[in-house]
Amino acid sequence: MTRLLKTAGSVILYGMIAASAVQASEQDLKVNEGQGVATALGPNVSAITFWVSRADGWHVVTTVNTRNAEGSEPNDHAVVRFSAVLQPGQSQSISIPVAIGERQPELLIRRVADRIEVLGNAELSD
């Protein structure tokens, strides 16, 4: 029963963050504590990132949703969750595997002084 409640709580929290998430470009790439930021990494890949401050560092959680090509089943996708504890100057890189010859979706999350920055494909190529 406890496991079910924890899972339900995680789903509700993810839904609340997803509903209040802003696009990274709208925030100048800065993510406020507890606020989710949505990043489109391609036509079939998106990510939501949020962070919270704890005594051992800033806990950053990113949930990536990948869908198969257009025309496939509506529920034909995979969701993966990544987490890291970042200190000032540290970063986390997340890349999504693709077919040979396609551009690989990539997300860079870094702690710069007192803020977290989220950079997707568009910002990384600048």
Cβ–Cβ < 8 Å for 83, 2: no
Banded model confidence at residue 12, pLDDT cuts 50, 70, 90: very low
8 pLDDT more than 70: no
* The model's pTM: 0.70
DSSP state of 8: H
Q: Say if residue 91 is exposed, middle or buried (CB neighbours under 10 Å; 0-12, 13-18, 19+).
A: middle
pLDDT attached to residue 59: 96
Of 42, 90, 93, 87, the C-alpha closest to 68 is: 42
What are the structure tokens assigned to 120, written together?
Answer: 């997707």
49 pLDDT more than 50: yes
Banded model confidence at residue 9, pLDDT cuts 50, 70, 90: very low
Banded model confidence at residue 70, pLDDT cuts 50, 70, 90: low
At 18-42, the pLDDT tens digits run 444 444 444 456 778 999 999 998 8
Backbone angles phi, psi at 39, to 5 degrees: -130, 120
Task: Return all residues near 85 (Cβ < 8 A) that are at least 6 apart.
Answer: 54, 56, 57, 58, 59, 60
